[in-house]
C-alpha cells in the first residue's frame, strides 16, 4: 500500500474515478426513443447550455426535463428522461469502495463532482446495488457537489471554496480526476493532483490489492 507523503486530505471526482460512466450508452438510449430524423440532435445532449446550468444548480430537475422535451420535441415522461440521463452511470466496483474505506483510516476524504440532483439519487441507488454501502454521504467525510455549490470544475473558484471549507494548505491536498482540464484547474491554486486515466489507475496509484 502506497501512502502519499505530506498529504492530509484526499479529494475524488465521481465519474470514471468512483463510478464508471459511459456517455455513448446514454446517446444510444436516446436514439432508441427518437425518430431517425432527430438522431442528429443527440450531439446536443451533453453539450447544451441547460446541461451546464443544471450542473450549477441554476435550474431545477423539472426545468431540466422540460428543456429536454423542448430540444427533442417529445412529450416524454419524467421517468423516461431520467432513464436516458442516468443510463451513463454504470458500475461502482467494490474494490474502489474498499480502497476509500481503507484510506479513511489515515486521511480525511471528500468528493468533488460536477453533477446534479438526478444523478446523485441514482448514484446512491447503484451504490446500494453494487456494494455494501448505502450513501455517498456516509462513505466520504465531506461531499462537494457542483449543483449545490453553484460552481463547477474547472473554474478555480470551486477549488478555492473547497480549500476554504477544509482549512488545509493546498500542497497537503491530493485531487483525483479523470479530466485533464479539471486537473489543471486544481493545479492553478497549488493542489496536488493525479490524473485517473483508466479503470485501474486509482487502485494502482495506491498499490491497493
- Give a yes or no: residue 154 inside a domain: yes
Listing DSSP states for the chain in one string gives: ----TT--EEEE-SBTTTB-B-HHHHHHHHHHHS-GGGGGGGGGTTTSHHHHHHHTTSS-HHHHHHHHHHHHT----HHHHHHHHHTTB----HHHHHHHHHHTTTSEEEEEE---HHHHHHHHHHHHHHSS---HHHHSSEEEEHHHHT--TT-HHHHHHHHHHHT--GGGEEEEES-HHHHHHHHTTT-EEEE--STTHHHHHTT--
Domain span at residue 79? 23-86
In a domain, 147, yes or no: yes
CATH number at residue 35: 1.10.150
- Does residue 2 form part of some domain? no
Please state the domain count of the chain: 2
> What residues of the chain score a pLDDT lower than 50?
none
pLDDT for 63? 98
Q: In which region does residue 110 sit, left (phi positive, over 0), alpha (psi from -120 to 50) or beta (all else)?
A: beta
What does the pLDDT read at residue 164?
Answer: 97
**pLDDT at position 2:** 61
Residue 151 sits in a domain of what CATH number? Answer: 3.40.50.1000
Distance CA 48, CA 67 (A): 10
Domain-terminating residue out of 65, 86, 107: 86
64 within some domain = yes
Whether 132 maps to a domain, the answer reads: yes
Residues 77 and 106 in one domain: no
Are both 155 and 56 inside the same structural domain? no
- For residues 181 and 108, membership in a common domain is answered with yes
Residue 4's pLDDT is what? 76
Q: Specify if 1 maps to a domain.
A: no
123 shares its domain with 45: no
Amino acid at each position: 500500500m502506497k501512502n502519499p507523503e505530506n498529504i492530509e486530505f484526499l479529494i475524488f471526482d465521481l465519474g470514471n474515478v468512483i463510478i464508471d460512466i459511459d456517455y455513448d450508452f446514454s446517446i444510444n438510449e436516446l436514439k432508441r426513443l427518437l425518430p431517425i430524423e432527430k438522431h442528429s440532435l443527440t450531439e446536443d445532449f451533453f453539450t447544451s447550455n441547460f446541461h451546464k446550468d443544471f450542473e450549477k444548480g441554476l435550474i431545477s430537475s423539472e426545468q431540466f426535463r422540460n428543456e429536454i422535451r423542448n430540444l427533442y420535441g417529445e412529450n416524454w415522461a419524467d421517468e423516461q428522461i431520467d432513464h436516458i440521463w442516468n443510463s451513463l452511470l454504470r458500475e461502482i466496483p467494490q474494490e474502489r469502495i474498499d480502497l476509500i474505506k481503507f484510506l479513511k483510516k489515515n486521511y480525511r476524504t471528500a468528493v468533488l463532482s460536477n453533477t446534479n440532483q438526478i444523478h446523485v439519487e441514482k448514484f446512491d441507488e447503484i451504490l446500494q446495488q453494487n456494494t455494501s454501502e448505502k450513501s455517498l454521504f456516509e462513505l466520504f467525510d465531506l461531499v462537494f457537489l457542483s449543483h449545490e455549490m453553484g460552481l463547477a470544475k474547472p473554474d478555480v473558484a470551486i477549488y478555492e471554496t473547497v480549500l476554504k471549507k477544509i482549512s488545509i494548505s493546498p500542497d497537503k491536498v491530493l485531487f483525483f480526476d479523470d479530466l485533464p482540464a479539471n486537473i489543471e484547474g486544481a493545479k492553478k491554486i497549488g493542489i496536488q493532483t493525479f490524473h485517473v486515466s483508466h479503470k485501474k489507475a486509482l487502485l494502482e496509484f495506491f498499490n491497493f490489492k
